[in-house]
Structure formats: structure tokens, C-alpha cells
């Protein structure tokens, strides 16, 4: 049986992932003020620059946001002159998101800032361990992406786990005191 005395929030992987993620977003927010949509706008820009944004829905899924949110995001990036939409010649339902010259220039500055953020977050690591750590994080993220669409994560954990939690309306009860 578990011993609560030996436990601590500090040893919780989920908690620590949250800490790092929030720290990253916060730092990113500080360096993307000229990019609409904040850190996520930056990620869309990265995808556009890298030619990985040929389909809004797929990109939205990859970034963990709704496709309708992606519409607003790309609207704003387009209005800022950082990207343009173009119908995919092969399937005209799809919109390809392409970076403009200005988008590329903006990306370049933001990209440098984000590498500096990386360095700050990973600062405590011995320099020699950084590439391996980054690689590990990337590998784990890849695997999780490959598995999660099937919701296999929760099968493993519990039969009760109906992973697509449908926003229980009673979750925050109307307070009556």
C-alpha cells in the first residue's frame, strides 16, 4: 500500500509537466506579442514556414485545438500579413497555410527567442545531456500522439475511463450558500 508520507506533489509527473508547460507558455507569451494568437499563433506560423500546414483540421488536431478555433487563428495571422490561405489544388476542400516573406521574417526572430526559452528551461541540465533530453521528449510526444487518437491510454488504465469527457455540466455546481 502507498505511503502518503513519502509522496509529494513534486514527484507527480503530471504536476511537473504542468509546471514546465505553463512556464513555457508564459515565457513564449512574452516574445510573441507581434504574433496574433500568442504561442499557438507562433506554432501555426512554424507549421506554415516548415510546410507542414497543408490542412487546417489536421493542424488543429496536432496542436490540440478545435478546427473552428483554427479558423479564427488563421484569420488573424492572415490579417497580420504573416500567412496566406490557398485552396489545395489536389483537394479544394483543404486550405493550405503558406508563410509570407513577412511571416518568415517574424518567424525567424520568434524562433531565436524560443530557442533562448528552451535554453532557459533546460538550463539546469548539463550541456551534454540537452540533445538527448530533447530527443527523449520528442520521442515520447510522438508515441503519445500515435496512441492517443485511439484512446488506448485509458484502456490500459481503467475500464471506467471514457476518455472523451463530455463537459459534465454539474462539475461546478451552482453555489448555494
Binding site for DNA (CB under 7 A): 55-58, 65-72, 74-75, 85, 91-95, 166-167, 169, 171-172, 175, 177
Q: 73: exposed, middle or buried (C-beta count within 10 Å: 0-12, 13-18, 19+)?
A: buried
With respect to DNA, which residue has the nearer C-beta, 85 or 134? 85
The neighbour count for residue 171, using CB atoms within 10 Å, is 7
In angstroms, what is the minimal distance from the CB of 113 to DNA? 20
Per CB under 8 A, does 85 bind a copy of itself?
no
Binding mask 99-138 vs a copy of itself (x if CB under 8 A, - otherwise)? -----x--xx--xxxx-xxx-xxxxxx---x---xx-xxx
φ, ψ (nearest 5 deg) of residue 84? -130, 150
* Biggest CA pair distance of the chain: 62
Q: From the list DNA, a copy of itself, none, pick the one residue 86 interacts with, judged by a Cβ distance below 5 to 8 Å according to partner type.
A: none
Q: 36: exposed, middle or buried (C-beta count within 10 Å: 0-12, 13-18, 19+)?
A: buried
* Residue 63 vs residues 3, 69, 106, 138, 149: alpha-carbon distances, Å: 38, 11, 20, 14, 13
Binding mask 3-42 vs a copy of itself (x if CB under 8 A, - otherwise)? -xx-xxxxxxxxxxxxxxxxxxxxxxxxx-x--xxxx---
In angstroms, what is the minimal distance from the CB of 6 to a copy of itself? 9
With respect to DNA, which residue has the nearer C-beta, 156 or 167? 167
Amino acid at each position: 500500500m502507498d505511503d502518503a508520507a513519502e509522496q509529494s506533489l513534486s514527484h507527480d509527473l503530471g504536476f511537473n509537466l504542468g509546471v514546465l508547460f505553463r512556464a513555457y507558455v508564459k515565457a513564449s507569451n512574452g516574445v510573441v506579442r507581434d504574433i496574433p494568437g500568442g504561442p499557438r499563433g507562433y506554432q501555426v506560423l512554424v507549421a506554415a514556414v516548415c510546410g507542414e500546414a497543408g490542412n487546417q483540421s489536421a493542424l488543429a488536431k496536432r496542436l490540440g485545438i478545435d478546427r473552428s478555433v483554427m479558423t479564427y487563428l488563421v484569420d488573424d495571422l492572415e490579417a497580420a500579413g504573416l500567412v496566406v490561405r490557398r485552396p489545395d489544388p489536389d483537394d479544394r476542400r483543404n486550405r493550405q497555410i503558406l508563410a509570407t516573406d513577412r511571416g518568415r521574417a517574424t518567424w525567424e526572430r520568434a524562433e531565436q527567442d524560443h530557442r533562448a526559452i528552451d535554453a532557459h528551461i533546460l538550463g539546469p541540465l548539463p550541456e551534454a545531456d540537452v540533445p538527448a533530453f530533447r530527443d527523449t521528449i520528442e520521442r515520447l510526444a510522438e508515441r503519445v500522439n500515435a496512441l492517443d487518437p485511439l484512446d488506448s491510454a485509458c484502456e490500459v488504465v481503467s475500464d471506467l475511463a471514457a476518455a472523451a469527457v463530455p463537459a459534465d455540466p454539474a462539475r461546478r455546481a451552482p453555489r448555494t450558500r
